[in-house]
Chains A and B, each alone.
Chain A
Amino acid sequence: MSALLSVNGYSLDYRTHRGTLRVLDNVTLEIAPGEVLGLVGESGSGKSTLAYAIMRDLPRNAREISGEISFAGEDLRRLDAPSLARLRGRRVGMVFQDPSASLNPTLTLGSQLAETISRHRGLARDAAWREGVEALARVELNAPDAIMRRYPHEVSGGEKQRVVIATAFACKPELVIFDEPTTALDVITGARILDLFRKLRAETGVAGLYISHDLALVSRIADRVAVIKSGKIVETEPADTIFAEPRAAYTRTLVDAVPRPQRRLVADRPGERKLIDLVGVSVRYGRPRLLGRQDTFGARNVSLDVKTGEILGIVGESGSGKSTLARAMTGLARFDGEIRFGGQRIAGPAEMDKSYRAAVQIVFQHPDASLNPRHRIGDILARPLALYGGAQSEIPRLLEQVRLPAYYAQRYPHQLSGGEKQRVAIARAFAARPALVICDEVTAALDVSVQASVIELLLALRRTHGTAYAFITHDLNLVRQIAHRIAVMRRSVLVDLRDADSIDAADADPYTRELIAACPVPVGEDERP
């Protein structure tokens, strides 16, 4: 059977003022009709660029060096503009990463859906609108006619993505390209979108190119998987074997870096004594208005504790309140309730003294924003030393501890990579010799391979110093590998707090079980009954 999409020896350069960058290097891959090929790579690997090359939407400074791209036997590079317009949307559809950004904010969802249908299927406006309503029903949206009349900002992320998918499928394409379609969504919503994708694929037999950084996820939905690194295809294997038996070294690193709940990284037990205890903590975000207050709760009546040397995982989706807890614990937000620490009862940021602040440190999510761009690394590390007692001479040792060379003290943050900046942030936290370090989504903004090394660093530091962690994340698989206990937050309320090994027990909160079910477990590792 001849291939539907065929990319053969394709190379692409970008011309920048700093020189020529080889973005895609001799890429060869094929998609048969009805087949789904997964394309996995980290940021900067060129995976999205390949998608845009196929759709022929490259920036002005792109130079195609060699190779060909054909669709259903036609050489795409030779198509003229009208033929291209007939191809796009009708025979090849595309679903983008961020549905908020890929929909026009000033047009209703219905008009954007209907215009595509009208364009490709030649229907008049009314007929196109009716088709649109049906298309939305097929992607399992409730009240499709109401949604047609809404604007993008009036519906949720998951609903928007379904609209985008409906638009892509409405013209019955032969191939749909998915560029990280669930990355911008919550875990549970993302899982449901994947279910939808499987259903649509079964119904329509459409071929797909599924691009993602998540090897575990892709291995569950694709037939074959291609791994791309720095513009080169490293290996292409059937999905069920790539995880179990990766051949290339790079694939092996990717596979190893995927958090797997069964692979426990922490074997010891925590201490008995409570290090920090939150009792009925609530954080309110109020907007003072002329008549009365309108409060929303960032966290509502949360009680949890961290024992000495313990790793407490705090999981939840975005907006669940987990970061709010971090803010309360570090004195960045006022709260009701009490925090008990070291014999003290603390009712607000004003009561947090220096010993508390030294003992409770925080590492933030975005390394770009958490280091002052105008301070040198050495200055950044000197500050906690000056505040909490410590000599300047310790700086080289601090850097060494996070596996950075001592001469980095002279550098500015923008001269470091994301992973290196995060290490500096960790070094800064440990300069105070803390008893508890709050890690607020510290790996979320990093590539998968870098994530693993940061986690490993944190665990090594814990072994040396006996520090406890409050590890905030949305990645349940990761936290199951390292935490002793796990707290689950949902809509500012604590719904579950239990030992990590019993997180999937039958008596866990239904929401917890939903979260576990939604987290992608790689093919070949499935342990569910």
Chain B
Amino acid sequence: MTELIRRLLRTPQGAVGAAILVLLLVICLFGALIAPEDPEKMNVLARFRAPDLNNWLGSDQFGRDTLSRLLVGARGTVPLALAATLLGTLSGAVIGTASAYLGGRADEAIMRSIDAVMAIPGLLLTLLVSSTLGKGSLNAMLAIAVAFAPGMARVTRSVALTVRRQDYVNAAIARGEGSAWIVLREMLPNVAAPVVIETTIRVAFAVMLFATLSFLGLGAQPPASEWGLMVSEARRFLHQAPWMIVAPGVAIALTAIGFNLLGDGLRDALNPRDER
């Protein structure tokens, strides 16, 4: 593991990505403590205050400090996006590997159904599930997980199929190894690497999707300090206080970039052939 981290940090993408994410982790854990003011404290006198030296990111329509809301909002956006991705990835990976291993008609049937579900564009599917489950962050997370699972299943299946064709799997079958051994010890370690990379990159997408849902009113509900919600609320005050939009927008972008970079770095680090 330490070897992996060392190789990850040796790539520029991996290093920058890891740095951003460590920062994010700190903010998620200690955001409330670092925040200069109470994010929910309304101050009528301080409405629409522009950013200055004392007040780095200004304040919003209720006088709440934008920086504080931003710091606390991390906790509203990132962990749930992460959870949604993990849930979606795990279920997708199991379906995909099983489908690849079963082969034949079962594989065909599963894949055709997945193709049909994927014919529904991602955001649309998320919206549908979300609208049925109801508003709220948790439901949004579930909706995203459901939307991710088919895509992950397809990716995992294609990787599993490639692995299945390799001669080392054939060698194992020729030895008379049991299915469990072949799937768990021969295939899975080689399937895991690409899946991990894909998952990392999808977290970026989940963060954006979660914020989008909140923006549309289906995710986090006011008065939560979620980033997407902040942009949505800020829309009405574009003219008076443009910083209200820029700050959370940049935060979302930075988070997504961080995960994308980490994914790129992992791609290099997890490839064993680069050793020699």
Whether chains A and B associate is yes
Residue ranges of A at the interface with B (Cβ–Cβ < 8 Å): 330-332, 352, 354, 357, 361-362, 364-366, 369-375, 383-384, 387, 412, 414-415, 428, 432
Name the residue in A352, A366, A373, A428 with the highest tally of chain B Cβ atoms < 10 Å from its Cβ. A373
Chain A residues lying within 8 Å of B172, measured Cβ to Cβ, are 383
B239 interface residue per 8 A CB criterion: no
A384 adjacent to B175 (CB under 8 Å): yes
**Complex: how many Å from CA A330 to CA B171?**
9
Name the residue on B nearest A330 (C-beta): B174
6 tightest A-B CB contacts, nearest first = A370-B167, A330-B174, A374-B189, A357-B176, A369-B167, A372-B168
Q: Closest B-chain residue to A373, C-beta based?
A: B272
**Which residues does chain A contribute within 8 Å of B166, judged by CB atoms?**
369
Residues of A within 8 A of B177 (CB): 383, 387
CB distance from B189 to the nearest CB of A (A): 4
Verify if B173 is at the interface (C-beta below 8 Å from A).
yes
Flag if A364 contacts B189 (CB, 8 Å). no
Given A373-B272, A414-B272, CB of A352 within 8 Å of CB of B171:
no
Asked if B272 and A412 make an inter-chain contact with CB atoms under 8 angstroms apart, the answer reads yes
Give Cα A144–Cα B272 distance, bound, in whole angstroms.
Answer: 49
Residue of A nearest to B190 (CB): A374
Return the CB mask of B184-218 against A: 1 if under 8 Å, else 0.
00100110000000000000000000000000000
Flag if B170 contacts A364 (CB, 8 Å).
yes
Give the residue of A331, A371, A383 whose beta carbon is less than 8 angstroms from that of B173. Answer: A331
* Contact between chains at A387 and B175 (CB < 8 Å): yes
* CB-CB under 8 A for A415 and B276, given A364-B167, A364-B170, A369-B168: yes
Chain A residues in 8 Å Cβ range of B176: 331, 352, 354, 357, 387
Least CB distance, B184 to chain A, in whole angstroms: 12
Report how many A-B pairs have Cβ atoms within 8 Å.
Answer: 57
Most buried by A among B168, B173, B186, B276: B168
Q: List 19 A-B contacts (CB under 8 A).
A: A331-B174, A331-B176, A332-B170, A352-B176, A354-B176, A362-B171, A364-B171, A365-B167, A369-B166, A369-B167, A370-B170, A370-B171, A373-B168, A373-B272, A374-B189, A374-B190, A384-B175, A414-B272, A414-B276
B272 pairs with A374, CB closer than 8 A: yes
For residues 23 through 58 of chain B, which have their beta carbon under 8 Å from a beta carbon of chain A?
A: none
Q: Is B273 an interface residue (CB 8 A)?
A: yes
Q: Which residues from chain B contact A375 at a C-beta distance below 8 Å?
A: 189
Chain A positions within 8 Å of B173 at CB level = 331-332
Contact of B168 with A371 in the complex, beta carbons under 8 Å: yes
B256 smallest CB distance to A (angstroms): 29
A414 touches B171 (CB 8 A): no
Which residue, B172, B175, B272, has most C-beta atoms of chain A within 10 A?
B175
Whether A372 contacts B190 by the Cβ 8 Å rule is yes
Closest chain B residue to A416, Cβ basis: B276
What is the chain B residue whose CB lies nearest that of A371?
B168
Tell me the complex Cα distance, A428–B175, Å.
10
B residues near A412, Cβ cutoff 8 Å: 272, 275
Task: Give the interface centre of B174, B176, B272, B273 by most chain A CB atoms within 10 Å.
Answer: B174
Residue of A nearest to B165 (CB): A369
Could you say which residues of chain A place their CB within 8 Å of the CB of B190? 372-374
Q: Evaluate contact between A414 and B275: CB separation under 8 angstroms.
A: yes
Q: Mark B149-175, 1 if CB is under 8 A from A, else 0.
A: 000000000000000001110111111
Q: Which listed residue (B174, B186, B273, B275) contacts A372, Cβ 8 A?
A: B186
Closest to A413 in B: B272
Q: Are A370 and B168 in contact (CB under 8 A)?
A: yes
Q: Are B275 and A415 in contact (CB under 8 A)?
A: yes
Instruction: Find the B residue at minimum CB distance from A357.
Output: B176
With CB as the reference atom, state the residue of chain B lying closest to A360. Answer: B174
**A293 → B minimal CB distance (Å):** 14
A374 vs B192: C-alpha distance when bound (angstroms) = 11
Taken together as a complex, chains A and B put the C-alpha atoms of A10 and B186 apart, in Å, by 48
**Least CB separation from B166: chain A residue:** A369
Question: Complex: how many Å from CA A432 to CA B174?
Answer: 12
Interface contact B189-A357, CB-CB below 8 Å: no
Residue of B nearest to A361 (CB): B174
Contact B174 A362 (CB under 8 A): yes
Apart from A374-B189, A414-B275, list 16 A-B contacts with CB within 8 A: A331-B173, A331-B176, A332-B170, A332-B173, A352-B176, A357-B175, A357-B176, A362-B171, A362-B174, A373-B168, A374-B190, A375-B189, A383-B177, A414-B273, A414-B276, A415-B275
- A374 surroundings in chain B (CB, below 8 A): 189-190, 272
Chain A residue with Cβ nearest B168: A372
- The answer for the CA separation of A332 and B174 in the assembled complex, in Å, is 6
Shortest Cβ distance from residue A123 to the other chain B in the assembled complex, whole angstroms? 47
CB distance from B97 to the nearest CB of A (A): 16
Q: Which of the residues A354, A357, A369, A371 comes within 8 Å of B174, measured between beta carbons?
A: A357
Question: A432 to chain B: closest CB distance in Å?
Answer: 8
B234-259 residues with Cβ-Cβ distance < 8 A to A are none
Tell me the complex Cα distance, A373–B170, Å: 14
Residue in A331, A366, A372, A383 with the greatest tally of chain B CB atoms within 10 Å: A372
Considering the chains assembled together, what is the distance between the CA atoms of A414 and B270 in angstroms? 13
Question: Which residues from A are CB-within-8-Å of B170?
Answer: 332, 364, 370
A-side contacts of B273, CB under 8 Å: 373, 414
Chain B residues within an 8 Å CB radius of A428: 171
Q: Tell me the nearest residue of chain A to B163, going by C-beta.
A: A372
Within the assembled complex, what's the spacing in Å between the Cα atoms of A387 and B176?
9
In the complex, residue of chain A having the shortest beta-carbon distance to the beta carbon of B181? A383
Q: How far is the CA of A503 from the CA of B128 in the complex (A)?
A: 73
Question: By CB atoms of chain A within 10 A, which of B166, B176, B186 has the most?
Answer: B176
With both beta carbons as reference points, the residue of chain A lying nearest to B171 in the complex is identified as A370
Roughly how many angstroms separate A365 CA and B172 CA in the complex, as a whole number?
15
Contact with A along B8-25 (1 / 0, CB 8 A): 000000000000000000
Q: How far is the CA of A294 from the CA of B231 in the complex (A)?
A: 59
Set of chain B residues within 8 Å of A369, measured between Cβ atoms: 166-168
Cβ contacts under 8 Å, A357 to chain B: 174-176
Q: How far is the CA of A372 from the CA of B181 in the complex (A)?
A: 13
Among B171, B176, B186, the most chain A Cβ lie within 10 Å of the Cβ of B171
Report A-chain residues with C-beta under 8 Å of the C-beta of B276.
Answer: 414-415
| Least Cβ–Cβ distance between B56 and chain A, in angstroms | 41
CB distance from A469 to the nearest CB of B (A): 16
Question: Which residue in chain B gives the minimum CB-CB distance to A331?
Answer: B174
Q: How far is the CA of A354 from the CA of B177 in the complex (A)?
A: 10
A371 to B167, CA, bound (A): 8
Tell me the smallest distance from the CB of A284 to a CB of chain B, in Å.
Answer: 15
A374 CA to B186 CA, complexed, in Å: 8
Residues of B within 8 A of A332 (CB): 170, 173-174
A365 closest partner in B (C-beta): B167
What is the CB-to-nearest-CB distance from B12 to chain A, in angstroms, rounded to a whole number? 13
Enumerate chain B residues within 8 angstroms of A366, measured Cβ to Cβ.
Answer: 167
The smallest beta-carbon distance between B176 and chain A, in angstroms, is 4
The answer for the CA separation of A174 and B275 in the assembled complex, in Å, is 45
Residues of B within 8 A of A362 (CB): 171, 174
Residues of B near A373 (CB, < 8 A) are 168, 190, 272-273
**Bound Cα distance from A396 to B136, whole angstroms:** 61
- Taking the nearest CB of chain B, how far is it from the CB of A188, in angstroms? 27
Is there an interface contact between B272 and A383, defined as CB atoms closer than 8 Å? no
Q: How far is the CA of A414 from the CA of B186 in the complex (A)?
A: 16
List B contacts of A352 (CB < 8 A): 176
What is the CB-to-nearest-CB distance from A323 to chain B, in angstroms, rounded to a whole number?
Answer: 11
